[in-house]
Amino acid sequence: MRSIRSAFQPLRLATVALALLLGACATTPREEPPGQFVERSVEVDGTSHRFQVFVPAKKAGGKHPATILFLHGSGERGTDNHRQTEVGLGPYLRAHAADFPALVVFPQSPAGTSWSGAQARVAMAALDAALDEFRGDEDRITLTGISRGGYGVYELALLEPKRFAALIPVCGGITQPPALTERLVVDGVAEAPDPFAAAAQRLQRVPVWAFHGAKDETVTPDQSRHMVEALRGVGGNVRYTEFAEAGHNSWDAAYAMPELWTWVWLRRN
């Protein structure tokens, strides 16, 4: 009997090995889910304010992802907590959800408001809450915005100039655009004799890449041109891209530039 068991032992071992091999072949690696938008809220001055956060895939963002605060324009104001992700940076993130490496915070301001005063505090509170929950990198925070949100970029940066590693105002500005009847200025420098010079003096140490459409009739490109000239006059670290054929909607072209994101990932406080 011993000789019979001995004869079958190699066969048993071979069978077990084959089963293990087939099992390994049948097991496929689990794919990591892409980045996704999640809804959050923060309380400021006794009122709850909802906002959205794009949370990157773990492989793309790492343990402490770079963080972006995005400020929407006039058309995305409201309380639905969704519209602010539909124009500007949001569509780009949905198209690159698998590999975009940053945490992106999307506050929403109510109708009739700008990114100043209470709304500036709400935006910063949303940023802080997202940084805490998702462990964003405090030294790699970029502030960007479109149109009224482009004005908001300068507004928030003037409030906390040391907080941001880079600024990306898109079709933004400093003073009132003639074509608009609703007030749109950067309150932090509105009373200065030269608001552009005053803003540039205070932001000269923050890297800036501004974008504008040459055919923009809503916020005319002279807004960005004057601000860039003022920053260069004080030795600021500033880049400027003006799209010759673009109107007010210059944000799609701006956010689609690979060079922009390469520049962003190099910024640190």
9 falls in which pLDDT band (50, 70, 90)? low
Domain that holds residue 132: 36-265
In a domain, 28, yes or no: no
Q: Which two tokens stand for residue 117?
A: 């005063």
pLDDT value of residue 155: 98
Residue 135 located in a structural domain: yes
Would 21 be classed as within a structural domain?
A: no
Does residue 31 lie within any of the structural domains? Answer: no
pTM over 0.75: yes
Structural domain count, the chain:
1
Under the banding of pLDDT at 50, 70 and 90, the label for residue 11 is very low
Region 219-235: mean pLDDT is 98
Q: What is the mean pLDDT of residues 260-264?
A: 98
Tell me which of 253 and 15 has the higher pLDDT: 253
In this predicted structure, the answer to whether residue 19 has a pLDDT above a threshold of 80 is no
**In the chain, % of residues over pLDDT 90:** 88
Does residue 14 sit within a domain? no
What's residue 31's pLDDT?
75
Whether residue 122 is contained in a domain is answered as yes
pLDDT at 237 over 80: yes
pLDDT of residue 188: 97
Residue 115 pLDDT more than 70?
yes
Q: Indicate which CATH number applies to the domain containing 222.
A: 3.40.50.1820
Q: Which residue reads 């104001």 in tokens? A: 77
When the pLDDT of each residue in the chain is averaged and rounded to a whole number, the result is 92
Provide mean pLDDT across the span 244-267. Answer: 97
Mean pLDDT of 133-160: 98
Q: What is the three-state SS of the chain?
A: CHHHHHHHHHHHHHHHHHHHHHHHHHCCCCCCCCCEEEEEEEEECCEEEEEEEEECCHHHHCCCCCEEEEECCHHHCCCCCCHHHCCCHHHHHHHCCCCCCCEEEEECCCCCCCCCCHHHHHHHHHHHHHHHHHCCCCCCEEEEEECHHHHHHHHHHHHCCCCCCEEEEECCCCCCCCCCCCCCCCHHHCCCCCHHHHHHHHHCCCCEEEEEECCCCCCCCHHHHHHHHHHHHCCCCEEEEEECCCCCCCHHHHHCCHHHHHHHHCCCC
- Whether 20 maps to a domain, the answer reads no
Per-residue pLDDT tens digits for 26-84: 545 567 799 999 999 999 999 999 999 999 999 999 999 999 999 999 999 999 999 99
User: For residue 29, what pLDDT is reported?
Assistant: 56
- Confirm whether 30 is domain-assigned: no
